[in-house]
Amino acid sequence: MRPQPEKPIEARGKVLGGPRPLVCVPLVGKTRGEILAEAENIPAIAPDIIELRVDSWEFVEETAASVSMVRDVRNSVGDIPVILTCRGHWEGGFKKVSDEAKFALYREAAAGALVDFLDVELAYGDEKIRETLRMLEQTSVSLIVSFHDFEKTPSKEVLFSTLAAQIRAGAHVAKLAAMPRSEEDVLALLSATLMIRREYPDIPLITMSMGGIGAVSRVTGGLFGSDLTFAVGSKASAPGQIPVAALKQCLSVLHPRES
């Protein structure tokens, strides 16, 4: 059996940290029409979970319009869990979004039970992360604390310490993605994932090595303790993502009894 967290998170019938890693498809449309078209296609490709990348939205600075969009996506995808992400431009976001707009949308979406996870970068620091955790106290929404490096893969020790910092900051889920420059970088990420799973056994983890070299981590990461992997639905949100049907087939081979 693969390394699983002792405290998995259940959201709308899906278990993050169960026997089989979840498959997540990002929605990265820019306009209302593009986003709705992606959402309407979700039931057909049947991912375990979706990610709304609101940093791609043309209207993301308009809170009322953004909340309405999240509500429409929720109605379209039914009971599929939703990760709400507004990735900072300094970590690969599609564009610069003000913190005021980002966290206003987060607050409204969480309070209305429209989403199941919020993603906040570790770079915001402990105080902002604690503030977000307080915001979520009366909701069923879980916090993903994340770190992305699109230029390189830090050393195994730095990868480990970054994930540990996310957990110490109060993350319900720790997430890390890095760009490899060599095959050894991919091995370093997988090794750090297994190390953090053993050292901090409680919470779910999401880790991946990006790009072509790192694609193998999106298939095998679950064997080292990663509990979610990203696949391509309509359009990729990061380099190296695999089409959802192909990824599901690979996971069914690696996790046959849970497929």
Consult the annotation and say whether 10 binds a ligand: no
Label residue 235 exposed, middle or buried (CB < 10 Å: 0-12, 13-18, 19+).
Answer: middle
Consult the annotation and say whether 228 binds a ligand: no
Given a contact cutoff of 8 angstroms between Cβ atoms, the answer to whether 4 and 19 are in contact is yes
Considering the candidates 102, 156, 172, 175, report the single residue annotated as catalytic. Answer: 175
Q: Is 175 among the catalytic positions?
A: yes
Q: Is 89 among the catalytic positions?
A: no
Consult the annotation and say whether 87 binds a ligand: yes
DSSP class of residue 257 equals G
Consult the annotation and say whether 53 binds a ligand: yes
Q: Which residue has the tokens 């480990």?
A: 160
Pairing of strands 117-121, 82-85: parallel
| Calpha distance 166→121 (Å, rounded) | 9
Residue 138 corresponds to which amino acid?
Answer: Q
Number of neighbours of residue 168 by Cβ within 10 angstroms = 12
Consult the annotation and say whether 205 binds a ligand: no
Considering the candidates 102, 148, 156, 172, report the single residue annotated as catalytic. Answer: 148
Measure Cα distances from 191 to 2, 18, 165, 195, 235 in Å: 14, 20, 17, 6, 29
Measure Cα distances from 43 to 28, 48, 75, 203 in Å: 16, 10, 12, 28
Consult the annotation and say whether 241 binds a ligand: yes
Question: Which of 206, 222, 155, 224 is CA-nearest to residue 184?
Answer: 155
Helices (H) and strands (E) in the chain, counts: 8, 11
Give the residue ranges of the annotated binding site for 3-dehydroquinate: 51-53, 87, 218, 237, 241
Q: Which residues are annotated as a binding site?
A: 51-53, 87, 218, 237, 241
Residues involved in catalysis: 148, 175
